[in-house]
Structure 1
Amino acid sequence: MTNGSSPVYYKNPGLAAILSFFYMGLGQIYNGQIGKGVAFIVMYTISAFLIIILIGLITTPILWIYGMYDAYKSAEKINIDISRHHGSGGPV
């Protein structure tokens, strides 16, 4: 915490990916990317309904895997940005 700003917390990339594994978008929400998380939840919901007409069999796994990857990489990027701006040594 510097100059009266709010505390900054590192993100655990593995936890972000695991949260997205259990429910797409949760990893993004954990990372503080609320809009992106909600977008993934909406895309996943639409894709799940598309399973009924078979196209969802293709789109759902792709979105699910990308959601886990994105949550992991976003958490890593957030941690790098925190280290650069706050001079900390890494996640606690």
Structure 2
Amino acid sequence: MREPLLAGILSLLIPGIGQIYNGRILIGIIWLVLTGVSWIGSAGLLGWVVHLIAAWCAYSYAKDNPVRS
């Protein structure tokens, strides 16, 4: 069983880790890279937005797909 709260918290700590926890390894790597680029490219402002979106996406996916296949 996937725990939505855990997935969201993991992605808040390190963007993309929540997606990897959900079994979406490629998506997790993409979020990690995208967040890093956003932090560097916008001096942090866009990085926060992308960081929060990554956490929300991890939470939502785990909530909508609780059973691992």
User: Residue 32 of structure 1 aligns to a residue in which SS?
Assistant: coil
Q: 5+ unaligned residues in a row in structure 1: which ranges?
A: 1-9, 83-92
- The TM-score normalised by the length of structure 2 is 0.88
Q: How many residues align?
A: 68
1:1-92 paired onto structure 2 within 5 Å: 10-50=1-41, 55-79=42-66, 82=67
Give the structure, 1 or 2, with the largest relative contact order (CA under 8 Å, sep 6 or more): 2
Larger Rg: 1
Identity of aligned residues (%): 30
Deviation >2 Å, runs of 4+: 55-58
Q: What is the Cα-based RMSD across aligned positions, in Å?
A: 1.5
Q: 5+ unaligned residues in a row in structure 2: which ranges?
A: none
